[in-house]
């Protein structure tokens, strides 16, 4: 195909490490994942970007099907959450505030 696809996690890892200059430990902490997971996601994303640059492909960022690690203590107003929908709503709102490459906020 003439395009490649980055997951939002790969995009975020590349942004944190290569654009904002965080080391892998800091990037992992900011994303709420382990350092080995951050490194794996970063390597995968860089490989995809390299393919696009070398072969002149379009780069797309997939914002659906995102896996997010959310700790219970990070959720505001836990006592007011509907257990059936609370965590999903919190994660959905967090995902929808992600910056995408064209610099528009997706909401």
Q: Is residue 91 part of a domain?
A: yes
Q: What is the pLDDT of residue 92?
A: 52
Q: Is residue 18 part of a domain?
A: yes
- Encoded tokens for 82: 């509907």
Containing structural domain, residue 13: 3-95
Q: Is residue 34 part of a domain?
A: yes
Quick: pLDDT tens for 57-71: 998 887 765 444 444
**What radius of gyration do the chain's Cα atoms show?**
15
38: CATH: 1.10.10
**pTM for this predicted structure:** 0.59
Split into its structural domains, the chain has a count of 1
Quick: pLDDT tens for 32-59: 999 999 999 999 999 999 999 899 999 8
Q: Is residue 105 part of a domain?
A: no
């Amino acid at each position: 195909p003439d395009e490649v696809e980055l997951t939002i996690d790969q995009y975020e890892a590349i942004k944190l490490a290569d654009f904002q200059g965080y080391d892998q430990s800091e990037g992992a902490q900011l994303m709420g994942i382990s350092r080995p997971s951050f490194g794996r996601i970063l390597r995968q994303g860089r490989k995809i970007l390299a393919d696009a640059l070398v072969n002149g492909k379009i780069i797309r960022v997939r914002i659906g099907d995102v896996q997010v690690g959310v700790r219970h203590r990070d959720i505001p107003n836990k006592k007011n959450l509907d257990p059936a929908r609370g965590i999903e709503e919190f994660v959905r709102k967090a995902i929808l505030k992600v910056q995408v490459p064209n610099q528009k906020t997706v909401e």
